Structure 1
Amino acid sequence: MQFLVNVIDDGQAEAAGRTASATRAEADAVDALNERLGDAVVFAAGVSAPSDAVVVDARRAEPTTVPGLVGDPAEFVAGFWVMDLPDAEAALRVAQEASVACNRKIELRPLL
């Protein structure tokens, strides 16, 4: 099964006066987790700051673009993994490890 594992920044970067979400220690811990997980990591990436976001809605005749996030900017996706894991139980264990490594909340969702 594949899972989307979102890293949620709820103010850590801003509180530290940084634009990048992770500290060096957190980035090193994530690198170590990625190495340990090996082929289970299908893809992983950090995501730029919310100030770089643009919401696009072209469902009507006149498309709109709005700077910023689609939702509450108090919490945002700072990075993510797509992981191939045996089941939801294993995914939950990995999400807990990811939360420790990132020092962030994790949103775990199965891919359809």
Structure 2
Amino acid sequence: MSFHDLHTPLIRARGATANAFNRSVYAGLKSGGRYVVIDHAAAAGSGARDTESLHRIDPTLVVEDVLEAGFVLDAQSNLLANDTDTHAIRVFDPAVKGETDRFAYRFIRP
């Protein structure tokens, strides 16, 4: 639940990017290796806008980022989804802490 951090100004200022991280994971896996990303969902269409302020990321951006590194989306789960989460408050807010709307994707290296 920290993939979103790869899009924050602090981490990017230190030279890390989602693209570089995903390429590194890809290089470290053999064909058939799996890469799982779980994070707090942001509002659809928000991209990386809420990564620093709310500690959330648009799930669509995550998929785009990881596919760009060469992975294939293998599976996804809504087991951690929470339809009552408005995506409008920080994940640490007591009103939603531990109950955020989260997504889980499994990617595979071809």
Higher relative contact order (CA 8 A, sep 6+): 1
Q: Which has the higher helix share?
A: 1
Answer whether TM exceeds 0.5 for this pair: no
Q: TM-score, normalised by structure 2?
A: 0.31
- For the pair shown, the structure with the greater C-alpha radius of gyration is 1
Q: Which has the higher strand share?
A: 1
